[in-house]
Structures are given as structure tokens and as C-alpha cells.
Chains A and B, each alone.
Chain A
Amino acid sequence: MAVLVIADHDNASVRDATHKTVTAALQLSPDVDVLVAGQAAKAAADHAARISGVRKVLLAESDALGQGVAEAVEAAVVPLMGGYDAVLTPATSQGKNFSPRIAAKLDVAQISEIIQVVDAATFVRPIYAGNALETVQSADAKKVITVRATAFKAAEEGGSASVESVSAGAGAANTRFIDQKLVKSARPELAGAKIVVSGGRAMGSAEEFQRVIEPLADKLGAAVGASRAAVDAGYAPNDYQVGQTGKVVAPELYVAIGISGAIQHLAGMKDSKYIVAINKDADAPIFQVADYGLVADYKVAVPELMDALTAAGK
């Protein structure tokens, strides 16, 4: 059997989630190809070709693919599926957007956000915000799978696969891309950051969130996250949201400040290597998963933490 991985990339390079999805794909089959669907994306395709274990890289280019229009990605992928028994996509907002379309076109189930490959037809995936794990076996001839990248180790680089161009497909007739506004940040990307500092509802305002959380994140070289409560209240933008309905992260260090630890938030960060919680409520559920808990008002504790980090040479 052969497996296709659809790369997560920015046309210049492929993101870490692609390396992790290749690892998952190699557990299904040794024959793994990567599709880079984009515009002027040769550099990303060359990067994908360096991922160890990749057999070859397919490059499909068009404006609609560069804009990530779901209908266009589906139209590029489906004709390729004659040569593959499974297609794996990182469960990013982009992957979640188009992957179910491929499944529907092929008339198969999508197996969403797998965290483990048991065998080529059997997978483990979280349900109920990660409060349960479901082991499912697919009876479909072709498997359409999205992969929770944080659950897999990134494949190394060091390969030299060939890159070949393929058809960009029919594009999208009734969908027009208007624009994309990405927040420019010098901080690392939340999903792949080694350290994440997150703030919760206790911040009380967007100004306070920026005043408290962002300097601490910058001191630690960390990405900024937020609980759903903080996002709902408008203290932080939605793409900061860590949790079932936001991003799932698994950094080496997760620092939760003023976050109570609702189930939905824990689902998004409980696989972090070390969890630090600062909360003035000693009974907050976040302390049940924290490796290091500090029961204190963040207004006192965060400035002290900044000082202690300075003293430690950070």
C-alpha cells in the first residue's frame, strides 16, 4: 500500500506538523509520498523532499491552492488517490478544512485527529475533548485521516526524494479568496513552540493580558496561549486559544496563569512535558495536572517570576 501525506507549508518551507504526519504515515506503509499544494511552492517541495522516509514529493501549484481554498485542494488531491490507499493530513485549521471533502468525494469516513496508529486500518483518536480515547477500525478501501501532530515525533531530515509536478486540478468555481490577515509575531508559533505561556479569565481585560502574559512569554522565548474563557471574554484573539475548540499543544513547558483548568482547556495542553500553574485558588483543577503549582495571585507572582528569571540569567 502507498500513503499520501498532504504537507502543511507556507510555500517557502514545510512546517513541523508535516514531519510528524510523515512519521504517522510511515507506520501505515513504507511507501510515503508528500503532496505540496501551493503557489510558487518549489522551495517547500524541496524541503519536503529532505524529510527522511519520503519516497517522492508531488508539487501542485495554482493561485487557488496558494490561497488554501478547500475546494481547490480537494480537486487536486482526489484524482491522485487512484495511486494511494490512504491520505494523511495534519489536523491544522487548513487540514481540517479540506480533508473531510476528500473523504466525502471518495465516499469514505474521515478518521479525525488520530493520536496512534495500531495497524493500517486501526487508529486511536480522542473524543469528548480528550476525556475518552476511541479505537476505531476502518472498513473503507481508502483511509482519509487527519493527524494530531503533537502525538507523533517529527521525522528527521536527511533524505533526498525526487520532486515531480502534478496537475493543480480544477480549482474552485464558486469560492473567491478575498484576503488573509495573519498576525505577524516575532514569537514562536503556538502549535510548535517549546514553551507556551497562557493566560486565563483572571486577567480581567485585554490590556492586562498583554501587560502580564506577553512580557513573560517574551522573557521565556515562548508562544502565547489563552483559555477559551479569556478568548470568549475578548482578552485574547481566537488563534491563541488552547483547548478542545482551539489548538492542541504539547510543549516542553506549559505555564498556565490565572487559568482554572476547565476540561476543555486541559484537553489542549495535558500532554505537555512540564506544566506550571499559577492560580490564587488552591482548589483550581489545573493543580491536578500541574507538575509545579504556585498558589498565588498572578499580580504578585508574575512580577516575582520575572525577577527570579532575571536572577537566573534569563
Chain B
Amino acid sequence: MKVLVPVKRVIDYNVKARVKSDQSGVDLANVKMSMNPFCEIAIEEAVRMREKDAATEVVAVSIGPIQAQETLRTALAMGADRAILLQSDQDLEPLAVAKALAAVIAEEKPDLVMMGKQAIDGDNNATGQMLATILGWPQATFASSIELGAGKATVAREVDGGLQTLEIDLPAAITADLRLNEPRYASLPNIMKAKKKPLDVKDVASLGVDIAPRLKVLKVTEPPKRAGGVKVENAAELVMKLKTEAGIF
């Protein structure tokens, strides 16, 4: 079984995004970039499938600038077998990403697409669902556990208020939620080994899919700031203030 894992290079999880003064976007110059945390979870899950011999090959794919090769090297160091970069200097919308991935999938013919539920930059939470729709594959989003069977997968999904379990036929697209696993750190020997693993770079335009943006970003602004309030001395004062000032009780 072949697993394809799309990964995205985004601002590092621990870095606070700052809006550019001209309101054209978020300032990413000289900011630490990393693999999107949900993509890390997806890579980890695919690599575990490979280690349990449930998968035979793990292919990581990224769409982004040439620097996204670093993100793919991280995926390779975590255990992916090879990587493909679809180079694009334009930031693609989820629909365009899904179309580009569908074109790669037509060539690669994986049995499973394992990906993150959301990228922490655009926060769209849409690409996996769109990809499944375009491919006509079943989907299981927000996975918290995956069991592979013959030609199918049983997926427990995080839903509001609990867990839902679905059985889906393969090929399918599964998106990872937070608790699916805890991604490993790549060891130094594996980082060295990853440098020798194959990484193909293609221009995203060579796929011949419609990647034109559908949304025009008019401006990007700072959210209204919330002013800090007062410190109280003890619990009794807190309850008193909640009662008299906030009118809560």
C-alpha cells in the first residue's frame, strides 16, 4: 500500500504572526518556518504504517516555494521514502492545492492520502475534504485513530461531543487531528540519511491545472486588542468584583 502525505511549510507554531504595516499580509521575512503541526502528525502516522508493514511506500508532497524542500527533508528524516515539491511562489488556495494534488495522485496512484486537517496559517480546514471530493474518494476527517483492513480503513473521528467511527473503502483521504499520534523528532543519523533520499522538484504549472485564486485579499489587519484588567488579591475579592462590576451572579 502506498501512502501519499501532503505537507505544508508554514510559520513556526511558536512564533506570533505579525501583520505588515501596509496591511498586505503577514510578515514572513526572517521568521522561523516549520512543517505545519498537523502535517507532522500525518507523516508520523504514515511512517508508522510503513514500520508495521501496512504501507510499502510513503511519498511526501509539498506545494510551495523552493524553501519548502527543507520541509520535505524533514518529512524524509521522519521516515518518508521520497518527496515531490510542486514549486509555486504564489500562495495557493485550498481548492487549487486540492486540484494540484489530484493531478499528482493521478500519476502516483496511492491507496491512501494521509494529511493534516488544517494548516495553521490560512486556518481553512478544507483541502482534504476538497481533495476527496475531486477524486471521488471517501473521506474521514479529524482522525484520532486509524485501523487499516483489507481494502478499507476504520477511522475514529473527533466530533463535537465525542467520537464517531466510520469505515471507508480505500483509496481514501484521511485528515489527522491532534491526538492521532505524537510525532517523533528526526534523529541526526536520519537527518543525514534524508539528504540522500530522492526529492523531485516540478513547477506546479507543469501539472496544467487551474490554480487561479478565487478570493482577493483586500487587506490583512490586526485583531482588536484586548486590554488587560486588574489583579485581585484573593478569591473573595474576585467573587465580589464578578458580582458588583461584571454583574455575573
B:167-196 near A, CB below 8 Å: 167-169, 172, 177-179
* Chain B hits for A178, CB < 8 A: 154, 165-167
Give chain A residues whose Cβ lies under 8 Å from the Cβ of B226: 270, 275, 288-289
B160 touches A93 (CB 8 A): yes
A12 within 8 A of B: no
Does chain B have a CB within 8 A of A1? no
Q: Is the CB of B17 within 8 A of A128?
A: yes
A residues neighboring B (CB under 8 Å): 67-71, 74, 92-94, 96-101, 103-105, 107-113, 122, 125-140, 172, 174-183, 189, 191, 195, 228, 231-232, 238-239, 241, 244-245, 247, 252-253, 263-264, 270, 273-276, 287-296, 301, 304-305, 307-309, 311-314
CB distance from B131 to the nearest CB of A (A): 8
Given contacts A244-B123, A290-B229, 6 further A-B contacts (CB under 8 A): A103-B130, A127-B220, A132-B26, A175-B168, A176-B166, A182-B161
B138 close to chain A: CB less than 8 A: yes
Flag the segment in B44-52, B80-88, B233-241 that touches A.
B233-241
- B102 nearest in chain A by CB position: A104
Chain B positions 102-144 with a Cβ under 8 Å from a chain A Cβ? 118, 120-134, 137-142, 144
User: CA separation between A297 and B129, bound complex, in Å?
Assistant: 44
10 closest residue pairs by CB, A with B? A291-B229, A304-B235, A128-B17, A100-B129, A100-B126, A109-B214, A182-B162, A104-B133, A104-B130, A178-B165
Select which of A109, A113, A291, A308 is within 8 A of B246 by beta carbon. A291
Tell me the minimal C-beta distance from B112 to chain A in angstroms. Answer: 13
The complex places the Cα of A291 from the Cα of B228 at a distance, in Å, of 6
> Do the beta carbons of A292 and B238 come within 8 Å of each other?
yes
Q: A104-B134, A292-B241 are in contact. Are A127 and B179 (CB under 8 A)?
A: no
Chain B, Cβ-Cβ closest to A245: B178
Report the separation of the CA atoms of residues A176 and B167 in the bound assembly, to the nearest whole angstrom.
5
Instruction: Check: B208 CB closer than 8 A to any chain A CB.
Output: no
- Complex alpha-carbon distance, A257 and B248, angstroms: 18
Show 26 residue pairs from A and B whose CB-CB distance is below 8 angstroms, ordered by the A residue: A70-B129, A74-B133, A98-B129, A99-B129, A101-B129, A101-B130, A105-B133, A108-B214, A109-B93, A131-B17, A132-B17, A135-B217, A135-B218, A139-B214, A139-B216, A172-B138, A180-B159, A181-B162, A239-B161, A275-B226, A290-B228, A294-B232, A301-B235, A304-B234, A305-B239, A308-B236
